[in-house]
């Protein structure tokens, strides 16, 4: 399995990017959030990856965070969900949206994704929470319930948005800050860490 790619971004399309590593260009399908988090073409980048084998070949999928890849892998484990659909889930809902939907076991959230009907959405809402609970880094109780963590995320999100960062940039930076500094992070510390990451990615 190809665990990650570290190289230069040399091309992109609607749902993929090309990363050149050692003279070889790897095409990886990515979510809209990952695409937004990557630097401009020609700059160095890092992608976590998953290689999916199918009849006639294989497809490489890229992720800007370990959390996104873990959710992708858990989602394709749901009966009837293929890798392209799992990527669409992440593009439409993002990491936080998926976790919030799972916390409430809300099938309606997943019907927002093109190609996912009511029955499949119900299956995702039932099966995905159990799969995510097996991954210790995910908590399906605090983010969607309006508790302290949710309020901190919202405060940091609003502050970053007011500074001109996109929705996806802000969300990914907040997610990374929480993983780096822990669940007890203060709003001020979260914003400071997120800003550090965002400023670094734009250099």
What confidence score (pLDDT) does residue 157 get?
67
What confidence score (pLDDT) does residue 173 get?
79
Structure tokens given for 78: 């749901």
Q: Are 59 and 83 in contact (CB under 8 A)?
A: yes
Q: Are 82 and 53 in contact (CB under 8 A)?
A: no
Q: 180 vs 122, which has greater pLDDT?
A: 122
> Is the pLDDT score of 148 beyond 50?
no
What confidence score (pLDDT) does residue 144 get?
40
Angstrom distances, CA of residue 63 to CA of 35, 100, 165, 200: 9, 20, 20, 18
What confidence score (pLDDT) does residue 80 get?
93
Q: For 132-144, what is each residue's pLDDT tens digit?
A: 877 645 555 444 4
Structure tokens given for 127: 């099966």
Q: 134 vs 67, which has greater pLDDT?
A: 67
Length of the chain: 203
Helix (H) or strand (E) holding 156: helix 148-162
What confidence score (pLDDT) does residue 146 get?
40
Percentage of residues of the chain with pLDDT beyond 90: 45
Please compute the mean of the pLDDT values over residues 88-97 and round it to a whole number.
90
Q: Is 30 helix (H, G, I), strand (E, B) or coil?
A: coil
When mean pLDDT is compared across 20-34, 79-93, 96-110, 175-189, the lowest value belongs to: 175-189
Mean pLDDT for the chain? 83
Q: For 20-38, what is each residue's pLDDT tens digit?
A: 999 999 999 999 989 988 8
* Cα dihedral 152, 158, 162, 166 sign: positive
Helix (H) or strand (E) holding 170: helix 167-181
Please compute the mean of the pLDDT values over residues 12-21 and round it to a whole number.
94
Q: 185 vs 21, which has greater pLDDT?
A: 21
Q: Full-prediction pTM beyond 0.85?
A: no
What confidence score (pLDDT) does residue 162 get?
64
What confidence score (pLDDT) does residue 70 get?
92
Q: Which of 114, 116, 124 is nearest to 79 (CA)?
A: 124
> Is the pLDDT score of 90 beyond 50?
yes
Query: How far apart, in Å, do the first and last CA atoms of the chain sit?
Result: 31
């Amino acid at each position: 399995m190809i665990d990650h790619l570290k190289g230069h971004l040399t091309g992109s399309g609607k749902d993929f990017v090309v990363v050149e590593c050692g003279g070889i260009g790897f095409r990886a399908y990515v979510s809209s959030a990952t695409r937004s988090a990557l630097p401009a073409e020609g700059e160095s980048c890092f992608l976590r990856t998953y290689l999916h084998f199918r009849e006639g070949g294989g497809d490489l999928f890229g992720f800007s965070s370990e959390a996104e890849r873990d959710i992708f892998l858990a989602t394709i484990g749901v009966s009837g969900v293929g890798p392209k659909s799992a990527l669409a889930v992440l593009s439409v809902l993002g990491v936080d949206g998926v976790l919030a939907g799972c916390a409430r076991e809300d099938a309606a959230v997943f019907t927002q994704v093109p190609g996912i009907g009511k029955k499949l959405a119900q299956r995702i809402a039932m099966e995905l929470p159990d799969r995510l609970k097996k991954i210790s880094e995910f908590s399906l109780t605090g983010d969607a319930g309006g508790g302290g963590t949710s309020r901190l995320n919202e405060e940091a999100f609003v502050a970053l948005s007011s500074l001109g960062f996109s929705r996806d940039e802000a969300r990914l930076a907040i997610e990374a800050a929480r993983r780096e500094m822990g669940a007890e992070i203060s709003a001020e510390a979260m914003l400071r860490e997120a800003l550090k990451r965002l400023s670094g990615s734009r250099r």
